[in-house]
Structure 1
Amino acid sequence: MLCRTLIFTLLFWSSALCLGQSASVHAVTPDYAGQTISTIIASNPFISFAEFSQTMVCNEQGEFEQPIPLKAPKVVQFETGVYQLYLYMMPGFHYEVEFPEYIEKKWEEQISPFYQPLAMPLAVLSRTSLSTQERIDGSMDVNHVIATFDSLFIIANREIIAHRKSGQQVNTDSLIQQLEATFHTDTSRFFSDYRRFRYGALKLNEGRTGLARLSQDYLGPTVMEWHPGFIELFRALFKDFIFYSANSGNDGQSFRNLVNRTQDFRQSRQLVLDHPAVWSDTLAEMILLQEFSELFYRGEYHKEAILIMLDSMANNPVTPQFGIYSAQLMKKLSSLVTGHTPPAISLEDLDGKTWSLSDFEGKYTYLFFGTTDHYGCMMEYPFLQSYIEKHSDYLNVINVMTSEDRNKLDDFMHRNGYTWTVLHYEGQPGVLDDYMVRAYPVAYLIDRNGKLLLSPATLPSEGFEQQLFRIMRSRKEI
């Protein structure tokens, strides 16, 4: 069901029509003194990929000021504490904003792979043109208009969902007309398109309009992957599109064969395009990119086959931008595939020295993710110490630790007599997502040349030592 506001899909909004130089944002919020704020502009609607990312520390007065390079309107994300705040910004303007009361993110939330930040719009106090110095009140800014529309949209959406659950019919067209009567005087292209996409969401939740008509009437006729409303409706309409095709006739089996056996992306795109809800080859390619990002982790499709498909799409895209999307998605997906280079690491040890994976090349590297207080991890640590004592000539043992307190981590290592290399995750918290750490412990084996050999690797208590010996014997190293 669609009942969300802009939130994450807003992160992908941009327009190639509007030129500009830069923008800036400023706030003074006393309780943010000494707190960090990360400013992010996402650039790929299929994966988390930032075209701009910078972290700043607020001064003693809680003042925050960030210049942002913009050549087109963008939705900019601000991450701080428990929040994921978003703001639609246009180049050539300065935004005076107000941050909500600061709430610190707990350690348990920091390391949890399932934590969801509190997403909300950033309040605009004023917007000033950098060229003319003309200032308008925040209540006249488009962010305020969008927030107002969404508040009414949510009410209408809840009514539609409630009626559908109870088996009653609701006049969705009448609700749409009421919304449009309030906002029809705002004829800006972005907001007009946004309303249309949101009306499509209402019709979808009503449950009486088919996929083809919804796609043609509310999503089409142009792919706008840079528009948050388009992205949100697109995801709702075409989620698991291939899965449902696979269970509704021969098309699904044909698609699996095209991917797993021939890796023919053109025929795969044509098969998608033949569906009445798909009105352009660009939309068909967009569906493929969305589906490949999900199918990659499902057993019925070969990972290497999907990577070959993405490589072909990157080199033969429907548009240059989709070639970039394909290449970025391929790089992301391949990062944890055996034979590929694993995600980069740049973390400090307990002495403050920064390490990267290249520092460990020449030996096998057992990369272990754990904590100091997890029972499963505690059972594995004696094995790790035995590896250091018995196999250090050809095996590195690297433990990325998520301890809350680095001093306690140092005490933990000395108290137990553990001597393997410990890297604290704090300097690169995204490393947990990069390595898809969904539970503790988890491990990977990297070969002497820095390529993934086991992904994930067997845990020590499950026989990793014997598996390592088998690998080394197969390579005639022992």
Structure 2
Amino acid sequence: MSRFLLVLSLGFASVAIVYGGNVQISGCEVSYAGSKISLRTYEEYITYQEKILAEATADANGCFSLEFQLERTSLVFWHLGKYFVYLYAEPGKDYHINLPPRADKTEADRLNPYFTEEEVHLLPVTGDSRELNHLITRFDSIYGPYYSQFALSVYGPPDPASADTAVETILRHFNGINHPYFSDYLLYKTAILRCIASQYKARSLSAMYFRNHPVLFENPAYMELFHRIYDSYFSYFGRTDTGKAIYDVINRKQSYTTLRRILAADDVFKGDTLRDLVILKNLHDEFYRNSFNRNAIIHVLDSFRLQGQVVMFRPVAANILKKVTRLMAGYPPPSFRLQDSQGNFKSLEDFKGRYVYLNFCYCSSYSCLKEFEMLNTLYKKLKGYFEIVTILADPTLQKVTDFLNQNDYSWTFLHYGQQPDILKEYDIRAFPTYFLIGPDGKLILSPAPSPAENFQQTLFNVMRSRGDLQ
């Protein structure tokens, strides 16, 4: 992943540490004139669910201003075409930034589910080398080569002496720095070097960096080490005499309360907060593996969402539930509100009470064009039984309008442009892709067969099984 450094002007508050406060970010870059600028952060670092902090539309000169509240120092960012632009924002401070010149994704980039944005870290120009973003950028430039060195030798013998030397060398560069957030960043990033150098086992690192330390679940450096240390914890714990009951507790009893109780026997934890965070991480990760029943994991997560001991983690459980069930039969699919060719907005809710054959395509795809003809025949024949909704991933709404003006298709076509993340939310990796949604708004088939795969008979079978067809 490439990294670029840009500059920004920074107005300092009168105190060194502010717990909660207003933040203002402004800037000008003419190539963004008329564009919406959306600033985001992560809700949490298990699902990495994003939330919008502030939005503004750049004026004719590309100038904008964003104002929002922060409770604590946070990583904030923009998705700007090919770029992932970020900085660490502190409560009570004002920033003036210079965004990188606009570079939109190409058509190939946009349709590539594996496309990775280039990172751009914004830097202050105050001349204060102890400002947080300066410190982190300086640290990263020193840390990066060591990380690469140890990562490349990870399959070799442990080299604890080299890890000690690397950490000591890095720390010498920052003697005398007294910035609480940066101190934590330094602590957990250098711990990652010790981890990948196999200097200590996971349990030792847990004791050194987590058991008697605050749980900094909103700090990305802390969470990066956390994910390494507690990866596959359920599997390792399940191999012990104390922990072997974990499979029965999750798969059969499906009990969040009992799960907490058996984990309390492991002295790797001290207190409820770290233990519940480990539970959430492993429930999330194990859903995508094969050791535990998925429906059982969903049940435990739902219990956590409703009665989690650490109340502030209940929304995290809700986010995990939403993520793991979003394309599962029996659960509501991701919602959308998109424009049709007339500029009217339509949402999935508008079709509630009817069967919906949802598909994703784009106008220049030969496979899509071929199946549009089959969809047209199918819709004319079975219009009273279901609705077809096609979401087109073409570059502009005008292209969709031109296409529909040239073709006599009477079902609903929507353009993804107002919600481009819809392709990621539905995990679209090929065009066309189909889903069948029931009258209750929940997925029935995910994915669904295409028209060429005898969808008509499949639809009738589903309707009969649900009592909607004699």
TM-score by length of 2: 0.88
> Does the 8 Å contact 2:158/2:197 carry over to 1?
no
Among candidates 238, 245, 249, match of residue 258 of structure 1: 249
The one-character-per-residue Cα deviations of 1:343-395 (angstroms, maximum 9, x if unpaired) are 21100111111101121123211111122233443443222112210111120
Q: Hey, what does 1:130 align to over in structure 2?
A: none
Partners of 1:215 and 1:168 in 2: how far apart? 18
- Name the SS of the counterpart of 1:114 in structure 2: coil
Partners of 2:338 and 2:390 in 1: how far apart? 11
Q: What are structure 1's unaligned runs of at least 5 residues?
A: 8-16, 127-136
> Does residue 1:223 correspond to 2:211, yes or no?
no
Structure 1 window deviating more from structure 2 (314-323 vs 263-272): it is: 263-272
> Does residue 1:153 correspond to 2:143, yes or no?
yes
Q: Hey, what does 2:381 align to over in structure 1?
A: 390
- Name the SS of the counterpart of 2:395 in structure 1: coil
The one-character-per-residue Cα deviations of 1:249-287 (angstroms, maximum 9, x if unpaired) are 678864333222110123323444545544444223212
> Does the 8 Å contact 1:384/1:420 carry over to 2?
no
Structure 1 window deviating more from structure 2 (152-161 vs 421-430): it is: 152-161
Aligned length: 455
Partners of 1:255 and 1:110 in 2: how far apart? 42
Partners of 2:176 and 2:21 in 1: how far apart? 30
Q: Hey, what does 1:367 align to over in structure 2?
A: 358
The one-character-per-residue Cα deviations of 1:71-93 (angstroms, maximum 9, x if unpaired) are 33222112212111111112221
1:212: Cα distance to partner?
0.6
Q: Hey, what does 2:72 align to over in structure 1?
A: 72
Q: Hey, what does 2:10 align to over in structure 1?
A: none
Q: Hey, what does 2:458 align to over in structure 1?
A: 467
Partners of 1:255 and 1:4 in 2: how far apart? 42
Counting only pairs closer than 5 Å after superposition, residues 20-419 of structure 1 correspond to structure 2 as 20-126=20-126, 137=127, 139-164=129-154, 169=159, 171-221=162-212, 222-243=214-235, 254-275=245-266, 277-298=268-289, 300-419=291-410
> Does the 8 Å contact 1:27/1:99 carry over to 2?
yes
Partners of 1:4 and 1:189 in 2: how far apart? 28
Partners of 1:138 and 1:115 in 2: how far apart? 36
- Name the SS of the counterpart of 1:171 in structure 2: helix
Give the % identical residues. Answer: 27
Structure 1 window deviating more from structure 2 (402-411 vs 201-210): it is: 402-411
Change over 3 Å in CA distance of 1:252–1:402 after alignment to 2: farther
1:166: Cα distance to partner?
6.4
Partners of 1:261 and 1:214 in 2: how far apart? 32
Q: What are structure 2's unaligned runs of at least 5 residues?
A: 6-16
Partners of 1:144 and 1:330 in 2: how far apart? 38
1:124: Cα distance to partner?
2.2
- Name the SS of the counterpart of 2:173 in structure 1: helix
Q: Which residue type is aligned with residue 298 of structure 2?
A: L
Q: Hey, what does 2:14 align to over in structure 1?
A: none
The one-character-per-residue Cα deviations of 1:128-164 (angstroms, maximum 9, x if unpaired) are xxxxxxxxx4544211011101111112222333455
Change over 3 Å in CA distance of 1:164–1:341 after alignment to 2: closer
Q: Which residue type is aligned with residue 219 of structure 2?
A: H
Q: Which residue type is aligned with residue 249 of structure 2?
A: L
> Does the 8 Å contact 1:98/1:123 carry over to 2?
no
Q: Which residue type is aligned with residue 353 of structure 1?
A: N
CA RMSD in angstroms, aligned pairs only: 2.7
Q: Hey, what does 2:9 align to over in structure 1?
A: none
Partners of 1:99 and 1:4 in 2: how far apart? 16
Change over 3 Å in CA distance of 1:187–1:139 after alignment to 2: closer
